[in-house]
Amino acid sequence: MHNINNQAVYTTPKYYTRCDMPEYSTTKQGYGATATETASLQRARYCTACRDYLPIEEFNTNESSEVTSLCKRHDDKTHKKTRWCRACGDFVCLSRFQKKKVVFLCKKHMYDLCVKKSIEKRKNDPVIALLLSQYNLCQMDCKIFKQTSMQLKKSDIRALLSHISQDEKSLYRLLPLDPARIIGMDNVVVVKCDDRKQMMMEFKKNNTSAYTTMAEKALQEAQM
């Protein structure tokens, strides 16, 4: 409303559209601009495959093509040769990743951030450390018995030594009941360290009968 010559004159107010306002110009929003100009004005974009907003640098943009809604991780031009590593902060060749499963950490950072911590945790745990030493010792004995493999798992070793207290488990070892067969749950005996030394000496002398006698004696004592 305006006051002209002491008379009230009503005028229709001017309504501005969003594009007429200077802060919402068409160039700033990308209307009528090229794909490169639109991409440079944006800071983030929604990836339809990741279902999340990512920095604009993680998208491929060409002058001749439309702005893609897939990031480089899922874009056909990039994902067949490279993969994004979260620790590197860059796309890395696929040969530097594990082949068994899709992970977004290269082999180096997978070892540094995951495997290395797991190994240190096992070394600091006395229960797991003792279980690993028993397992590794059984593998070393397989070479002495001229066996290429063994049928004992870590869970089997834990079950065989469950009746022994944790402080005394280091005083016992696992040996095959029959040295001619592969060590397994149906061919294993728990013996003391001193008995193991004597049994291994008899086996190295090709005195398998003495070895078998001592193994059967240890098995009977364990069942009593």
Closest-CA residue to 138 (of 187, 179, 176, 194) = 176
For 2, 42, 46, 173, 194, the CA distances from 137, given in Å and listed in that order, are 100, 61, 54, 8, 15
- Taking the alpha carbons at both ends of the chain, their separation in whole angstroms is 109
Residue 4 lies in a domain: yes
Residue 96 lies in a domain: no
Residue 16 lies in a domain: yes
pLDDT tens by residue, 62-106: 554 556 777 777 665 555 677 888 888 888 888 888 888 888 889
pLDDT tens by residue, 10-65: 454 444 444 444 443 334 444 444 555 555 557 888 887 777 788 888 777 655 45
Give the range of the structural domain holding residue 15, as residue numbers without chain letter: 1-70
Residue 150 lies in a domain: yes
**What three-state secondary structure class fits 59?**
strand
Closest-CA residue to 177 (of 205, 219, 137) = 219
What would the 3-class secondary structure string for 91-115 be?
EEEHHHCCCCCCCCCCHHHHHHHHH
> Domain boundary residue among 55, 70, 85?
70
Q: What is the tally of structural domains in the chain?
A: 2
Residue 157 lies in a domain: yes
Residue 84 lies in a domain: no
Residue 36 lies in a domain: yes
- Supply the pTM of this predicted model: 0.50
